[in-house]
């Protein structure tokens, strides 16, 4: 089964390359030989966008790397979809770096283009160090392992503690209570909003759908199945669409100067976000430091306890690497070694995927912005543990772009969100067919 799947993925890769490159002859797709002769010193290049990564890699080069004669060089990149394109372009020329940082939702795209090496033999033991839902994202449901998880973004609910008290609001435990809270606030203070529905970061909506149990991409035999327009996602879309339509929450996009101002001046008093929110809040709303608190994400039913994830990335080894074994060794060290994870937290401010690191070192005290909430990271680790599994496909970027366009317009016009969801589903399926994937209807 995994064997046929691998071959299938390779066929898909070949089609995609042929489609995108026209007549370019795809001679040898990287070196397929397994004889990674490990003799003498090895030097590896690593594309990453994480700030401060060069300092963390220095620890490797001076410590375990020196012993094993494996030197890693960081080449800092800009994050985002464009980096995936850059990696694939380099891979077409056989020049991808040995190691790349990749967001979880980008892994299927990279794997279907045969850009990532299966490192299950080298890093399979690391499985126990991560939550199951996190590890599953690096295997794509196969026996292979395509990356080692680095950081995760479990979603949470952030709110202004002082203003919740002022307006006599309680922290919502369910989404129904969330809607009630929004309405109550509107009544108490008409020019204040609980939060906004923003369509400019698709990751947020994907995370919310994931929490509701949506599985956007699944495989059925040799075919892909796209479930963007499934019942769970429809529920989420309708929920937010109704709130926007009745004016209970704002419909302006986030990450704009106006949004920053609204947070900073208490015109918006809550934000559905992820574990990395303190960093964003400290630049967006510097004047409200110490006035926020974090709580678990509201649930769809009182008995549930799940969250979605928004963001997070992994370290992968490319098929172009001539030293896959050495590269995998480094990837495992970077994301499981205590010293490395401590340095990553300190230098780069990431929230580690490794469960043991979530409560040690830098995470024993709350982030500076949340100094009022002493158990911030204890709670965060508990929430991270409830992360629902995710199901990414080979054209997440297309679905995300479609989301931004369709939902952006729907939020602006306060029109039907479920119609926008249908558009997103149709765009995604059409693109997969165009790329040569077989899609089950």
Applying CB under 8 A, the residues found at the interface with another protein are 24, 45, 47, 49-51, 75-80, 82, 86, 89-90, 92-95, 97, 151, 153, 203, 257, 260-261, 264-265, 274-276, 279-280, 282-284, 286-287, 310-313, 348-351
Helix segments in 40-194, DSSP class H? 53-62, 64-68, 81-92, 107-112, 120-123, 132-139, 161-166, 175-188
Query: How far, rounded to the nearest angstrom, does the alpha carbon of residue 381 sit from its chain's CA centroid?
Result: 17
Contact 423, 263 (CB under 8 A): no
Residue number with CB closer to another protein (54 or 180): 54
Q: How far is the CB of 269 from another protein (least distance, A)?
A: 17
d(CA 10, CA 294): 44
Residue number with CB closer to another protein (96 or 421): 96
What DSSP state is assigned to residue 193? B
Residue number with CB closer to another protein (34 or 287): 287
Q: Read out DSSP for 136-160?
A: HHHHTTSS----EEEEEEEEEEEEE
Residue number with CB closer to another protein (17 or 421): 17
Residue number with CB closer to another protein (153 or 213): 153
Residue number with CB closer to another protein (131 or 274): 274
Tokens of 360: 């040690």
Q: How far is the CB of 42 from another protein (least distance, A)?
A: 18
Q: How far is the CB of 414 from another protein (least distance, A)?
A: 26
d(CA 156, CA 153): 9
The distance between the two most distant Cα atoms of the chain, rounded to a whole number of Å, is 72
Q: How far is the CB of 355 from another protein (least distance, A)?
A: 18
55-88: b (≥16 Cβ within 10 Å) or e:
ebbebbbeebbeebebbbebeebeeebebbebbb
Q: Is residue 114 classed as helix, strand or coil in its secondary structure?
A: coil
Q: Is residue 46 classed as helix, strand or coil in its secondary structure?
A: strand
* Count, residues in the chain: 441
Residue number with CB closer to another protein (74 or 237): 74
Contact 334, 194 (CB under 8 A): no
Residue number with CB closer to another protein (344 or 424): 344
Q: Regarding beta strands 223-226 and 217-220, do their DSSP bridges make them parallel or antiparallel, or are they unpaired?
A: antiparallel
Q: Is the dihedral of CA 119, 152, 220, 14 positive or negative?
A: negative
Residue number with CB closer to another protein (224 or 276): 276
Residue number with CB closer to another protein (332 or 350): 350
Q: Nearest to residue 266, comparing CAs of 188, 207, 199?
A: 188
Cα dist from 66 to 43, 72, 212, whole Å: 11, 10, 47
Q: How far is the CB of 114 from another protein (least distance, A)?
A: 17
Q: How far is the CB of 61 from another protein (least distance, A)?
A: 17
Q: How far is the CB of 287 from another protein (least distance, A)?
A: 7
Which residue is associated with the tokens 């699944």?
A: 218
Q: How far is the CB of 397 from another protein (least distance, A)?
A: 15
Residue number with CB closer to another protein (285 or 421): 285
Q: How far is the CB of 66 from another protein (least distance, A)?
A: 22
Contact 343, 59 (CB under 8 A): yes
Q: Nearest to residue 326, comparing CAs of 113, 16, 41?
A: 41
Q: How far is the CB of 194 from another protein (least distance, A)?
A: 21
End-to-end CA distance of the chain: 22
Contact 98, 46 (CB under 8 A): yes
Cα radius of gyration (the chain)? 22
Q: How far is the CB of 357 from another protein (least distance, A)?
A: 15
């Amino acid at each position: 089964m995994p064997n046929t799947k691998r071959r299938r993925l390779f066929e898909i890769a070949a089609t995609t390359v042929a489609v995108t490159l026209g007549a370019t002859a795809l001679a040898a797709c990287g070196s397929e030989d397994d004889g990674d002769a490990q003799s003498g010193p090895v030097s590896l290049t690593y594309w990453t966008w994480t700030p401060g990564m060069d300092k963390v890699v220095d620890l490797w080069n001076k410590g375990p790397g020196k012993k094993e004669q494996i030197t890693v060089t960081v080449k800092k990149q800009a994050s985002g979809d464009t980096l995936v394109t850059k990696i694939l372009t380099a891979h077409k020329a056989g020049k991808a770096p040995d190691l790349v940082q990749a967001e979880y939702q980008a892994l299927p795209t990279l794997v279907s283009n045969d850009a990532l090496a299966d490192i299950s033999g080298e890093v399979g033991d690391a499985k126990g160090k991560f939550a199951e839902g996190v590890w599953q994202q690096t295997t794509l449901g196969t026996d292979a392992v395509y990356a080692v998880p680095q950081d995760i973004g479990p979603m949470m609910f952030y709110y202004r503690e002082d203003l919740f008290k002022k307006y006599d609001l309680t922290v919502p435990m369910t989404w129904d209570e969330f809607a009630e809270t929004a309405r109550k606030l509107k009544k108490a203070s008409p020019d204040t909003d609980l939060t906004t529905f923003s369509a400019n970061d698709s990751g947020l909506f994907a995370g919310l759908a994931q929490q509701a149990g949506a599985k956007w991409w699944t495989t059925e035999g040799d075919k892909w199945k796209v479930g963007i327009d499934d019942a769970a996602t429809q529920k989420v879309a309708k929920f937010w669409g109704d709130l926007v339509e009745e004016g209970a929450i704002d419909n302006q996009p986030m990450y704009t100067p106006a949004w920053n101002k609204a947070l900073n001046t208490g015109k918006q008093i809550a934000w559905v976000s992820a574990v990395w929110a303190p960093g964003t809040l400290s630049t967006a709303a510097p004047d409200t430091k110490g006035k926020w608190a974090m709580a678990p994400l509201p649930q769809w039913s009182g008995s549930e306890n799940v969250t979605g994830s928004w963001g997070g990335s992994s370290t992968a080894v490319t098929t172009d690497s001539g030293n896959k074994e050495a590269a995998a060794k480094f990837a495992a060290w970077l994301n499981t070694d205590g010293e490395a994870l401590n340095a990553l937290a300190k230098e780069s401010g990431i929230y580690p995927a490794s469960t043991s690191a979530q409560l040690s070192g830098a995470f024993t005290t709350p982030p500076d912005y949340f100094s009022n909430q002493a158990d911030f990271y204890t709670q965060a680790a508990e929430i991270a543990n409830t992360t629902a599994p995710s199901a990414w496909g080979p054209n997440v970027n297309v679905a995300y772009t479609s989301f931004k366009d369709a939902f952006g317009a729907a939020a602006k016009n306060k029109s039907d969100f479920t119609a926008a969801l249908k558009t997103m589903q149709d765009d995604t399926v059409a693109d997969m067919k165009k790329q040569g994937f077989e899609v089950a209807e």
